[in-house]
Structure 1
Amino acid sequence: MKNLILVLIAITLSASAAVGQERGNRQGLGQNRTPEERAKAEVERLGTALNLDQSQRDSIYKHSLEQTKKQQALFQQGGGDREKRLEQMKSSRNEYDTKIKSFLTEDQIKKYEEVQKGRVQRRQARSKE
């Protein structure tokens, strides 16, 4: 009887660890990617959603890479005033959005804004989990 209880406890702990690890993997998507990998993923995502031509993809990759490196530097600063860093990140993101829109047609800008709204909603929903 004791052995059966121990086996059930081991199975329960193992299953809990697997679920926790999977949740961690989903939440950490992109966390361990290089700036180049992140920029490439961004171009792939936007390229598909907005039907970008090669020139637009190249321009967006360049600015996405720059943005990713800037955000990473701000994030890694650590210490100091967290609110100030968050404000800098938000400002940097707004500049990035403006720059990206400069490469898009009017129809693509509308789609881009929709994509961004959906992204924000998904991020908020995940943070509530």
Structure 2
Amino acid sequence: MKKFLLPLLAVVAISFSAAAQTTPPQKGDHPRRSPQEMAGHQAKRLSKELSLSADQSAKVEQIMAARAQEMQALRADASARPTREQMQANRAKYDDQLKQVLTPDQFAKYTTLAANRRHHGHGMQDGKLKAKDGKIKVKANSTAS
């Protein structure tokens, strides 16, 4: 009986400890959004950050949805990836459309927010830390040879 009870208790203890090892969802575990959903989310964020009126918010959402569809169409053609020039032209067109909807103060704030967002995620690359001012700081090697 003792030979049977001890392995049984070990199995039960292991199963309980394994069940307790739940991990929180990772950052990238959320489902992909459609271009329209992303445009809506971005428009809501901009509405809050720039204090847009309801009319401005609706126009910004339309502009963002149209841009998202254009970018999706550019990326859909696997044989010809969009060039840097195409992306910049699309960005300039988008900025011109936003400039027509936003006030000068709102557009200035938008450009600073966009510039800060472009630098987001460019921190550590190949052991080099890139600061917001664009200068590269080399990470010191702590191992002595």
- TM-score for both structures, normalised by structure 1: 0.70
Tell me the residue number matched to 1:87: 85
Aligned match of 1:75: 75
Corresponding residue for 2:122? 124
Aligned to 2:113: 115
Q: Which amino acid aligns with 1:54?
A: A
Partner of 1:49: 49
Is 1:96 the equivalent of 2:100? no
Instruction: Find the counterpart in structure 2 of residue 10 from structure 1.
Output: none
- Which residue of structure 2 lines up, in the alignment, with residue 22 of structure 1? 26
Larger gyration radius, structure 1 or structure 2? 2
Q: CA deviation at 1:123?
A: 3.9
AA in 2 matched with 1:22: Q
Query: How many residues in Structure 1 have an aligned counterpart in Structure 2?
Result: 108
SS at match of 1:124: coil
Structure showing the higher strand proportion among its residues: 2
- Residue 89 of structure 1 and its aligned partner are, at CA, apart by 2.1
> How much does 1:87 deviate?
2.3
Structure 1: gaps spanning 5 or more residues = 1-17
Letter of the 2:60 partner, please give it. Answer: I
Identity %: 26
In terms of fraction of residues, the more helix-rich structure is: 1
Gaps of 5+ in 2: 1-22, 127-145
Aligned structure 1 segments of 4 or more residues deviating by more than 4 angstroms? none
Q: Which residue of 2 aligns with 1:61?
A: 61
Superposition TM-score, scaled by structure 2 size: 0.63
RMSD: 2.8
- Cα deviation digits, residues 36-90 of structure 1 (max 9, x gap): 101101111110110000010011111110000000111111123x4x5332122
